[in-house]
Structure 1
Amino acid sequence: MNSLSRRGFLAATAAAIGAAQMPRTAFAQAVAPIGLSATTRTLDIEGRAATVFGLSGPGGQGLVLDPGQRFRVDLTNDLDIGTIIHWHGQIPPNLQDGVPDMPMPLLAPGETRSYDFEARPGTHWMHSHVPVQEMTLLAAPLIVRRPEDLAADRQEVVMFLHDFSFRPADQVLAEITAGMADHDMSAMGAESSVGGMAGMNHGGMQMGGMAMNGMAMDLNDFDFDAYLANDRTLSDPEVVPVERGGRVLLRVINAAAATSFWIDPGEVPARLVATDGHAVEPVAGRRFGLAMGQRLDIELDLPGSGAFPVLALREGARERTGLVLATPGAAVPRITALSDEETRAFDTDLAQEVLLKGATATAIAPVAPRPVDRTHMMMLQGGMMPYGWTIDGRSWGNHTPLQAKSGERVEITFHNMSMMGHPMHLHGHVFQVVNVNGRAIIGALRDTVYVPPMAMVTVALDAGEAARWMLHCHHMPHLSTGMMTEFAVSA
């Protein structure tokens, strides 16, 4: 699942590619639904057995779809509790979106529910929309290949990131929301937060000792027991066999509950080529960041033979995880779970976001230039003591929906008035980042945008199916304490 070789893949999928060229109705009749199960599994984390949840498909955790293949899935709940799965990055009919009681209820234990919709290509994922379940690893990759992925002479590798605690997720959540957790109140400076992006001035900002507008930023809600890449820590990382001098497409998915990461490919030449499943004009760099719910596609050109660690660094801390790309016979080095220095905070000045430009082929269709029909300003507020997070001063259940009509061009401005960053995710839509702190840009296409403290980000979209669509922070403790609203689209 995690290593997807183009050469090995071509023969195995020839029949599926042929089927994908058939008329859609014939294809739907010819291919049986894929079975997917919400289940429990046991991981070995630092020598301790850990029982977690998972989403098991025919090839293990997660699903990989071929170009043109519809998302035809029979989801079975093999847990002893109710659950529901959201297809993050996909745009299914609202009935199939996977939010509790919006409009479908949880799947009862033993129940099977069928899904059938056109799959959107790119690096996506799927997860429970019950916060404590996502924190217990009820999540998995959802990769939908494009035809050019099959034609490219490169190997695909998935890096699926999590934060993990041995304690039950409900206890962790209760400790965080009660204000008893150890919080990282690292101060941060005003220098660029982008690490190693081409063409940028990267001053040596250190965590601590500096402040943002005289105020300290709260980076991390909780010190987790482990940080995982493909269910493993650096004491026993996944070692992915690769070709000498080969090219790798690294599909990075941040499925963590409350952790942003910097991706560090070491000395391997790297360029960012897609965000949230959508192509961007390639950006070369040495570190690339992503918040919870976001995805990055990074192309790596291996310099020859050897072992090449690709690390995910926890923002504002020393903890790290990752995997190792290794050519035949290469000695795999031992890598400690703590780096020598703390990393900087993630994209505090949105310097990385400003660099990203939607590739022309993909950016025109969703947000072709046209007059804006409706605008919304969303105030993101909250704090640590007491612990609570709101949108426009209201929490879920007391919220005021954002209104739009199907087909309208809508701009939403997220204004973060808190000292913690918020990755804001909109269901059922793709949007384009069009303004950052008052600066107009033709930015990346996304479904999850990170809004750092005291910042403003505007996104543009065309309102889709007339339905209630969830709009929320993808930081699980923020979501669980009410930082969500709905985008209510009428006909």
Structure 2
Amino acid sequence: MNSLTRRGFLAAGAATLASAQLPHAAFAQVTPLALRATRRTLDIDGRAASVLGLAGPGGQGLVLDPDQRFRVDLTNDLDMATIIHWHGQIPPNAQDGVPDMPMPLLSPGETRSYDFQPMPGTFWMHSHVPTQEMQLLAAPLIVRSPEDLRADRQEVIMFLHDFSFKSPEEVLAKISGGTAHGASTAHDMTGMGMMQSMDHGTMGGMAMDLNDHDWDAYLANDRTLSDPEVVQVERAGRIRLRVINAAAATVFWIDTGAVEGRLVAVDGHPVQPIAGTRFGLAMGQRLDLEIDLPGEGRAWPILALREGAKERTGLILAPPGAKVARIAPLAQADAPAFDTDMAQEVRLVAMAPLPDRPVARSQMLMLGGTMQPYLWTINGATWGDHQPVIARTGERVVLTFHNMSMMGHPMHLHGHVFQVVGLNGRRVSGARRDTVYVPPMSMVDIALDAGEAARWMLHCHHMPHLATGMMTEFAVSA
């Protein structure tokens, strides 16, 4: 593996996004970057797997320089129609990448052009067809800031997936048929105002449903721990680790092991730094960790632990000459459930909070559902029977997600950045985000300023929940 400088960008293997391959004339980029939805083959624990991908000029995904426009020609090289969503970015609504809201899917062979000014930070892009995202039609989208170029640090991406050798249709049929892992009892929690704290796997004596499905593999940069990516690093160097949870239905804990990390951004937006060795992120969310490596010549594993289970994946940071030991794909003990008491979310404080303004409109969104029958709803309705959430451009809006189900829901709003302002009724000046995790039997308030007059998707980022209708729209009028 070629070693890049700490000022360079290093994320080798399947997630190679070496900035060396991006011309610096890109600052005044005239020619659009080519991005292709394509098929590729991975080696997963010695077995060939046909998956989908998004191939940019330097490998899977895109890296943009400061002030570089998102000027991209997306070509569909697949034998099926697709559409790509630029998760967390705020393009014009016509470029947001949701089927028929307002643009149709791209036909096989079709090319569509995109052009907007992106926000800096750690983002990603993925198909907005749930079965395609479950086939790994997703990739990093990194927009660097001037500080990223100045800083004496090495950039590393950790792109997480859950994977099945079965087709997404088979996986969804198994999950929704009630035979999925953890689907032993139906929990209809409607009307139960229980706000007790929950321990590992239980809440008020009732079982939480942490995992819908036992996947065949858990991937970091398209690899398992049987053959993890080994990233060459300098001794005593500083790392900016950009972690993206692109999994369909798995919450992960990021465990930095023997070296402490500092959480400096979530969903691409800076937060007041928090030190620690374990940080959680739900589907669709991102974390940026700064890690100052010790001067020892040993390898430093960075692991992603599946919540409520022993499975894990990860990558290894290795200075020259370091011995890289094999890491078992199963831990000795189950990782805990993620943030059931919102202990992580409550510590997050935005570096650039929303300015104070009177709230023009507020609305409660009830998140409900059961494992049997497998049905997930917003305000009691699935997509197609939904009542849009409405606002006018420029209004300050507060939305309250009230989760009355026994599963957590990562709620993602398109076309907007919001701020977390309340957790179980406690006011906070929380993180700015585009995807917030709402634990079972919990309430989260978010504040935002309504943007472009258009229909914007609002949905759970747990793919089987989305596929069964846990979606509504944020309809903004002029």
Q: TM-score, normalization: structure 1?
A: 0.91
2:279 is the alignment partner of 1:280? no
Residues 97-116 of structure 1: matches in 2 within 5 Å? Answer: 97-116=96-115
Whether the 8 Å contact between 2:378 and 2:471 is mirrored in structure 1 is yes
CA-CA distance at 1:7 after TM superposition:
3.4
2:454 is the alignment partner of 1:462? no
Residues 40-119 of structure 1: matches in 2 within 5 Å? Answer: 40-119=39-118
2:349 is the alignment partner of 1:346? no
Over 3 Å counting, the alpha-carbon distance change for 1:15 and 1:138 in structure 2 is closer
The 1-side partners of 2:48 and 2:443 are apart by 43
Over 3 Å counting, the alpha-carbon distance change for 1:159 and 1:431 in structure 2 is same
Over 3 Å counting, the alpha-carbon distance change for 1:62 and 1:351 in structure 2 is same
Residues 167-246 of structure 1: matches in 2 within 5 Å? Answer: 167-183=166-182, 207=200, 211-246=202-237
CA-CA distance at 1:14 after TM superposition:
12
Counterpart of 1:475? 462
Task: Give the match's secondary structure for 1:368.
Answer: coil
Instruction: Report the AA paired with residue 77 of structure 1.
Output: N
The 2-side partners of 1:9 and 1:276 are apart by 19
Task: Give the match's secondary structure for 1:7.
Answer: coil
Over 3 Å counting, the alpha-carbon distance change for 1:298 and 1:185 in structure 2 is farther
Whether the 8 Å contact between 1:312 and 1:322 is mirrored in structure 2 is yes
2:116 is the alignment partner of 1:125? no
CA-CA distance at 1:177 after TM superposition:
1.2
The 2-side partners of 1:463 and 1:4 are apart by 42
**Ranges in structure 2 where 5+ consecutive residues have no aligned partner:** 11-17, 188-194
Counterpart of 1:140? 139
The 1-side partners of 2:21 and 2:55 are apart by 24
The 1-side partners of 2:209 and 2:298 are apart by 39
Counterpart of 1:333? 325
Instruction: Report the AA paired with residue 109 of structure 2.
Output: G
CA-CA distance at 1:330 after TM superposition:
0.4
The 1-side partners of 2:22 and 2:460 are apart by 41
Whether the 8 Å contact between 2:183 and 2:371 is mirrored in structure 1 is no
Q: Deviations over 1:50-97 (max 9, x none)?
A: 000000000000000000000000000000000000000100000000
Counterpart of 2:162? 163
CA-CA distance at 1:214 after TM superposition:
2.3
Counterpart of 2:14? none
Task: Give the match's secondary structure for 2:400.
Answer: strand
The 1-side partners of 2:463 and 2:453 are apart by 27
CA-CA distance at 1:19 after TM superposition:
6.2
Over 3 Å counting, the alpha-carbon distance change for 1:303 and 1:291 in structure 2 is same
Counterpart of 2:192? none
**Of residues 425, 450, 455 in structure 1, which corresponds to 2:437?**
450
Counterpart of 1:422? 409
Over 3 Å counting, the alpha-carbon distance change for 1:425 and 1:170 in structure 2 is same
**Of residues 244, 264, 281 in structure 2, which corresponds to 1:253?**
244
**Ranges in structure 1 where 5+ consecutive residues have no aligned partner:** 21-26, 194-204
Counterpart of 1:199? none
Over 3 Å counting, the alpha-carbon distance change for 1:2 and 1:488 in structure 2 is farther
Q: Deviations over 1:190-249 (max 9, x none)?
A: 9988xxxxxxxxxxx6x45xx312211000000000000000000000000000010101
The 2-side partners of 1:12 and 1:302 are apart by 22
Counterpart of 2:13? none
Counterpart of 1:293? 284
Whether the 8 Å contact between 1:4 and 1:157 is mirrored in structure 2 is no
Instruction: Report the AA paired with residue 247 of structure 2.
Output: A
**Of residues 376, 380, 400 in structure 1, which corresponds to 2:363?**
376
CA-CA distance at 1:31 after TM superposition:
2.1
The 1-side partners of 2:58 and 2:415 are apart by 27
Over 3 Å counting, the alpha-carbon distance change for 1:413 and 1:109 in structure 2 is same
The 2-side partners of 1:5 and 1:158 are apart by 15
The 1-side partners of 2:3 and 2:372 are apart by 44
Task: Give the match's secondary structure for 2:179.
Answer: coil
CA-CA distance at 1:6 after TM superposition:
4.0
RMSD, aligned α-carbons: 2.2
The 2-side partners of 1:421 and 1:458 are apart by 15
Instruction: Report the AA paired with residue 231 of structure 1.
Output: D
2:387 is the alignment partner of 1:386? no
User: Identity of aligned pairs, percent?
Assistant: 72
2:312 is the alignment partner of 1:320? yes
Task: Give the match's secondary structure for 1:351.
Answer: coil
The 2-side partners of 1:38 and 1:161 are apart by 19
The 2-side partners of 1:406 and 1:12 are apart by 37
Counterpart of 2:31? 32
Over 3 Å counting, the alpha-carbon distance change for 1:490 and 1:191 in structure 2 is closer
Whether the 8 Å contact between 1:416 and 1:456 is mirrored in structure 2 is yes
Instruction: Report the AA paired with residue 248 of structure 2.
Output: A
CA-CA distance at 1:476 after TM superposition:
0.2
Whether the 8 Å contact between 2:7 and 2:151 is mirrored in structure 1 is no
Q: Deviations over 1:29-55 (max 9, x none)?
A: x52100000000000000000000000
Q: Deviations over 1:310-359 (max 9, x none)?
A: 00000000000000000000000100000000010000011100000001
Task: Give the match's secondary structure for 1:434.
Answer: strand
